[in-house]
């Protein structure tokens, strides 16, 4: 590629990367030297601090974001025959959690400007069997929680907000974690803060909270055998079928240390997104991600939507050219029902045309707090050069 040959990077710039410092390392090592590697004091502290940060009453730490979604579906009472409405433009876990409970994922198409689940499409998919809605805060911009909650209330449905992308984001002055009955987070290294792996469910509801604590540890409630404890102190009772979804104290200590830096992480993400917005809106060869008024994204991902009618190359060609330049571009996401497993369940292509169109044209650009100015310049320069080289001249 002529324009960029002289600037090529020798190292690959990934689309996401964790930011771990010496304090994080010390926090984990301190736990290793302590008495508790799991089920210890760091778990409760992490839950309390996360609940405070997200303005929720309760938090339940679990092993992964996927386990958080499963735990939330269990607490919501999803069972075989139930339908749950979710977005197709997400990671498979947002729908898999419904299948884990024997429920049926129903995909409602996305809004063409925000790319979040379209409340009108949700309403159209509601049947007598619908039990819950799982909106996904795609790329970090909260879904339209006010409209979604209004629909849910009218039809007596629970809302489980998949906030794997939106920790720290706000919608109309409310923090993510304070809006839905259940909100799930992920602490995968690509996300805002990391525990290696980890997840959490937030809620204000005491009953849901207790169900989730039981589900996370095999369905056992501590003290549930208390009537016999004096005579038979070894007793504990498994009341329901749960899982071992516990987070370790090593993970919680890392999460606590990372949480101290959340504000600077998010402001750096916003700074980079603003720079991309400025550059690419002027270029007019891609659509930049539209933000609803009143929504304050925490920018997990930055995606561009190619204006293919103005370009002579397709998405695949442009994507591969960017990869050759050592840019770790990606595509988030393949519509969930395109996956062979979902195709075998009977979902057909054509189900959600807006999501399918976005999928054909989107490219995820690198975005993470540790990116230095030189990295951001590189993304801006290379993407601009590659797009310009591919302008269609009629
Ligand atoms: C990352 C992610 C998850 C799952 O999180 P894990 O911690 O990887 O299990 C769920 N939903 C969305 C939208 C995600 O991006």
Q: Residues lining ligand 1, judged by CB closer than 6 Å?
A: 64-66, 90-91, 93-94, 136, 162, 164-165, 186, 188, 197, 199
Average pLDDT rounded to a whole number, residues 329-345: 98
**Residue whose CA lies nearest to ligand 1 atom number 2:** 164
Question: How many Å lie between the centroid of ligand 1 and the Cα of residue 151?
Answer: 25
CATH 3.30.420.40 fits 5-17+262-388, yes or no: no
Which numbered atom of ligand 1 lies nearest the CA of 136?
A: 13
CATH 3.90.78.10 fits 22-259, yes or no: no
Residues carrying an active site annotation: 191
pLDDT at 195: 98
| pTM attached to this predicted model | 0.96
Question: How many Å lie between the centroid of ligand 1 and the Cα of residue 285?
Answer: 30
Which numbered atom of ligand 1 lies nearest the CA of 197?
A: 7
Which numbered atom of ligand 1 lies nearest the CA of 93?
A: 10
Question: How many Å lie between the centroid of ligand 1 and the Cα of residue 342?
Answer: 18
The answer to whether residue 25 scores a pLDDT higher than 90 is yes
CB proximity list for 284: less than 8 A, separation 6 or greater:
307, 310
Domain boundaries, the chain: 5-17+262-388, 22-259
The answer to whether residue 3 scores a pLDDT higher than 80 is no
Give me the percent of the chain exceeding a pLDDT of 70.
96
Which numbered atom of ligand 1 lies nearest the CA of 94?
A: 11
Q: Classify the phi-psi angles of 71: left when phi > 0, otherwise alpha if psi is within -120 to 50, otherwise beta.
A: alpha
Decide if 28 contacts 20 (C-beta within 8 A): no
Summarised one tens digit per residue, pLDDT across range 228-248 is 667 788 888 999 999 999 999
Of the listed ranges 154-163, 216-225, 261-270, the least confidently predicted one is: 216-225
Question: How many Å lie between the centroid of ligand 1 and the Cα of residue 69?
Answer: 9
Summarised one tens digit per residue, pLDDT across range 153-196 is 999 999 999 999 999 999 999 999 999 999 999 999 999 999 99
Query: Which of 93, 116, 139 has most ligand 1 atoms within 8 Å of CB, for mutation?
Result: 93
What Cα–Cα distance (Å) separates residue 361 from each residue in 308, 312, 318, 340, 393? 7, 13, 10, 21, 20
Question: How many Å lie between the centroid of ligand 1 and the Cα of residue 351?
Answer: 23
The answer to whether residue 333 scores a pLDDT higher than 90 is yes
pLDDT, the chain, mean: 95
Query: Which of 98, 186, 243, 299 has most ligand 1 atoms within 8 Å of CB, for mutation?
Result: 186
Summarised one tens digit per residue, pLDDT across range 53-87 is 999 999 999 999 999 999 999 999 999 999 999 99
């Amino acid at each position: 590629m002529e324009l960029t040959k002289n600037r090529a990077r020798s190292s690959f710039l990934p689309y996401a990367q964790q930011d771990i410092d010496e304090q994080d390392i010390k926090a984990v090592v301190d736990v290793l030297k302590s008495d508790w590697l799991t089920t210890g004091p760091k778990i409760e502290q992490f839950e309390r601090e996360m609940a405070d940060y997200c303005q929720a009453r309760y938090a339940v730490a679990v092993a992964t974001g996927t386990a958080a979604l499963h735990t939330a579906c269990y607490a919501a009472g999803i069972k075989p025959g139930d339908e749950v409405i979710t977005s197709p433009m997400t990671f498979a876990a947002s729908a898999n959690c419904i299948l884990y409970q024997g429920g049926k994922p129903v995909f409602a198409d996305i809004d063409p400007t925000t790319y979040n689940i379209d409340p009108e499409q949700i309403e159209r998919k509601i049947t007598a069997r619908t039990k819950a809605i799982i909106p996904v805060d795609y790329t970090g911009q909260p879904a339209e929680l006010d409209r979604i909650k209004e629909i849910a209330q009218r039809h007596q449905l629970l809302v489980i907000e998949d906030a794997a992308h939106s920790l720290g984001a706000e919608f109309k002055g409310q923090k993510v974690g304070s809006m839905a009955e259940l909100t799930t987070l992920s602490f995968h290294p690509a996300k805002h803060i990391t525990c290696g792996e980890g997840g959490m469910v937030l809620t204000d509801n005491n009953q849901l909270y207790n169900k989730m604590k039981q589900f996370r540890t095999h369905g056992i409630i501590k003290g549930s055998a208390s009537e016999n404890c004096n005579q038979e102190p070894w007793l504990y009772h498994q009341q329901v079928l749960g899982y071992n979804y516990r987070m370790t104290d090593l993970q919680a200590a890392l999460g606590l240390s990372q949480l101290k830096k959340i504000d600077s992480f998010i402001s750096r993400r916003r700074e980079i997104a603003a720079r991309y917005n400025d550059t690419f809106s002027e270029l007019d060869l891609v659509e930049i991600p539209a933000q609803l008024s009143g929504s304050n994204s925490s920018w997990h991902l930055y995606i561009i939507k190619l204006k293919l009618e103005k370009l002579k190359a397709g998405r695949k060609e442009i994507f591969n050219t960017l990869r050759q330049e050592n840019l770790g571009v990606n595509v988030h996401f393949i519509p969930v029902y395109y996956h062979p497993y979902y195709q075998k369940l009977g979902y057909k292509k054509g189900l959600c045309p807006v999501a399918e169109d976005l999928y054909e044209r989107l490219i995820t650009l690198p975005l993470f707090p540790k990116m230095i100015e030189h990295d951001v310049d590189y993304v801006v320069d290379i993407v601009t050069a590659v797009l310009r080289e591919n302008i269609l001249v009629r």
